[in-house]
A and B are shown apart, each in its own frame.
Chain A
Amino acid sequence: MQAEFGDEVTDTNNSKSRVFAVGRAFAVLLAAMFMFSAPGNAQAADSDNSIIVSVQNQANNNGVSEKKPVVGVKISVTNLAGVAVGEGVTDSVGSVTIPVPAKDDYVVTLDVASLPSGVTLIEGTKTVVNIVKDAFTTNAKRVTFFAGTSGESGASLMDRIAQRLVDGVRLGLIIAICSVGLSLIFGTTGLTNFAHGEMVTFGGLIAFWFNVLLGIPLLIAAPIVIALGGVLGLAMNGVIFAKLRKRGIGLISQLVVSVGLSIMLRNMYLYQFGGRTRPLDDYSLQVAKHLGPVSITMRDLSTTIISFIVLMGVAAYLQRSRTGKAIRAVSDNPSLASSTGIDTQKIIRIVWFAGGALAAMGGVFRGLDEQVGFEMGSGLIFLMFAGITLGGLGSAYGALVGGFLVGLLVELASLVVPAELKNAPALLILIIVLVVRPQGILGRKQRVG
């Protein structure tokens, strides 16, 4: 393994009081999390067990699928014996929640006659869906029916490539923003933080809280969200990982702790926010503008431009500023950097703050791009890992370049790979990079095995 990071040494005389200190810290964190979750409890009042059915009209516009809710569709649920369990009609977001008595086998039927005129189910979509008991991974099982025409036959290949490029740039920039912190935290402390995705989710959920529940415009809320993300990063370091380093706990153990943290936070989000994904209020309804073969909404165009500016800013900061240089020095060689008088612990705190803030920003953008949900960040973490590995684990600029490329490649790959598997090519990239150039594009070559 690598040399110990940081400059603390375990003091055996003091270990008992340290144990208490760390224990207290955990307790504080837990209490804080509960505290934070208290006010919004009402919104999580999903009924005990339910089936959530959503009907979406999926129109294909030059290769961009646009989903529109279908309102007023009759849905019924019966048990296997054919006895009616419940029924309902889809609401303004095309969704209906039908409570069911228990996690059991059910049959969900869509009444085709109730579809609005001109809307038909996509070819091959069944109007009857069987749900088996084990499919209830949470208390709510979601079923979606798609209406509209499918297939991308309308657009030419070049047009589709152009569209994917635009989407890929957007996804790539978001991944790059999210993973800068992941890579720098690795570089400065040696920790592979599996809870980084939860920092992204945090940004999305807090933005939702401000924007939807409190009605604060997103433009005002976003800076607060980003700052809070930074504070979360500081808290993770201060309450947990700085203490673990101080106790001299190994990097592998720290990694496992971050896994535990990820599970805990993700379920806190689920507890708080519920299992469904929801849109932010602001900028959620946008009409796509057509620029040549490409269609993009003003919202997506703006987030792309802002992301790009932010990343350039981060790069410039790392390149030019005193702190930025210090961060790169610590990232290159922590023990050497501390011997040259750099305050390593301070740099680590800065990196955690910045990493958390950027992750939260990525969460806001992702929330705009898709929707907000308790798993939005953990769904991205694997792309982030692929990105920073491609760019070079621990390299400051590697995360920017690697994250961007992974996002781009994932979107482009969806031209040939079915959408449900569009993350698979990222794994392929990961494996190829590790075989061919394990240090990544920008990483420094070092001795391996």
Chain B
Amino acid sequence: MDIIKIIENTIAAFFGIDAAYFALAAIGLNIQFGYTGLLNFGQSAFMACGAYGLGMTSQYFGVGMWWGILIGLALVVILGLLVGIPTLRLRADYLAIVTIATAEIVRLVVRSVRFKQYFGGSDGINSFSTSFRSLSPFDPGAQYGIRPFQYSGYSLWTMIIGWSLVVIFSFLVYMLMKSPWGRVVKAIREDEDAVRSLGKNVYSYKMQSLIIGGVVGMFSGMIFALDRGSVQPDNYSRDVTFYVLTALVLGGVAKVRGSVIGPMMFWGLYVFSDNFLRELTKDKPFNLFGIGIIQKAQVGPVNYMLIGLGLMLLMTFRPQGVFGSKEEMALDGR
């Protein structure tokens, strides 16, 4: 077993691009779910808005990369209104049901043969990142840094942009949640009738929160697409939202630091578990104390099983996150 490799990979994962794009998605989800109490189970669809917004600039509109942000924003607003208008007046579960369904339909539409000319079908869209690459000050071929923090020039570029966005949006969310606007949405999470009785338009605030969170999610999708250099419909499956949710709960909901530290820990743990199990099963299937055998090909499902289990346990025992305080726990007026 190559322990050094496992440790290196794990440490790298804490700061990797995956953690960065997850953090962006989690910051968005935190605005919606953490602060406002909106069960947005379609964050992956908002991410797809960003990715396809970028992709469509080259595929369909033939315009520059910066237009991708505008197209993405337009898509996010349309999607937000589509899922928000019918559900935000109703009890929380409806939003969950409609967002998860919408995210699934969005994925089916973009991967469909029927709309292949716009979205590229299951192959996705590939040639849109050239102008982003050309902005990079680094030599794309060269390796920078020392292990475990060693990246190609292009990866380094996307990572710098990705983590910069994380810092920027963390700051903006911090400001927003300190403001009277933040006060209103936090109050909505606790009791929307109380807020309504004080003259606030609850529906409008929920919609704002949904769309603002969606916009941050959109940037997450963009960073992901730029890093991979392609937009693949299956990267925006509903489970992505749930993994982001798990990462958020891990760090602690309704806290800015939770939405950043959570994804870092999530990827650290995930990569550790994945590498560890792969090493364990490299030569022969691993026998888990006689109650189960893990084959090499089963490492993936076992990892995801652990994520599901982790989400259940966290939500039950530490909804305030692993670093949350006892005080918060006691106040959890559940």
Contact = CB atoms under 8 A, between A and B. Distances in A.
B123 A132 contact: yes
A130 B121 CA distance: 13
Contacts of B298: 44, 271
B91 A34 contact: no
Nearest to B237: A137
Contact of B234 (A23, A46, A137): A137
Contact of B292 (A34, A132, A250, A261): A34
A41 B293 contact: yes
B43 interface: no
Contacts of A382: 100-101, 104
B242 interface: yes
Given A135-B232, A264-B309, A259 B293 contact: no
Contact of B92 (A1, A35, A132, A248): A1
B295 interface: yes
A427 B101 contact: yes
A192 B308 contact: no
B112 interface: yes
Interface string B72-92: 000000000010011111111
B310 A260 contact: yes
A231 interface: no
A22 B317 CA distance: 9
A426 B101 contact: yes
Contacts of A247: 316
Interface stretch (A114-122, A309-317, A355-363, A417-425): A417-425
A423 B308 contact: no
A427 B105 contact: yes
Contacts of A424: 105, 108-109
A84 interface: no
Nearest to A45: B295
A133 B251 CA distance: 31
Interface in A78-111: none
Interface stretch (B49-57, B150-158, B299-307): B299-307
A449 B102 contact: no
B230 A385 contact: no
A263 B300 CA distance: 13
A299 B237 CA distance: 34
A256 interface: yes
Interface residues on B, range: 35 or more
Interface in A212-268: 240, 244, 247-253, 255-257, 259-268
A48 B41 CA distance: 32
Contact of B114 (A192, A259, A268, A418): A418
A372 interface: no
B313 A26 contact: yes
Contact of A385 (B89, B97, B304): B97
B10 interface: no
Contacts of B230: 132, 134
A307 interface: no
Nearest to B41: A259
A409 interface: no
A262 B308 CA distance: 7
Contacts of B300: 138-139, 270
Interface stretch (A159-167, A276-284, A396-404, A431-439): A431-439
A424 B309 CA distance: 31
B202 interface: yes
17 contacts: A41-B292, A48-B296, A132-B230, A134-B230, A135-B234, A139-B300, A192-B96, A192-B97, A251-B92, A252-B37, A253-B334, A267-B301, A268-B305, A382-B101, A421-B108, A431-B82, A434-B90
Interface of A: 1-2, 19, 22-23, 26, 30-31, 34-35, 37-38, 41, 44-48, 130, 132, 134-135, 137-139, 192, 194, 240, 244, 247-253, 255-257, 259-268, 270-271, 382, 385-386, 389, 393, 418, 420-421, 423-424, 426-427, 430-431, 434-435, 438, 448-449
> Would you list the 9 A-B pairs with minimal beta carbon distance, nearest first?
A264-B308, A449-B89, A263-B308, A260-B311, A260-B312, A434-B86, A271-B301, A267-B304, A250-B334
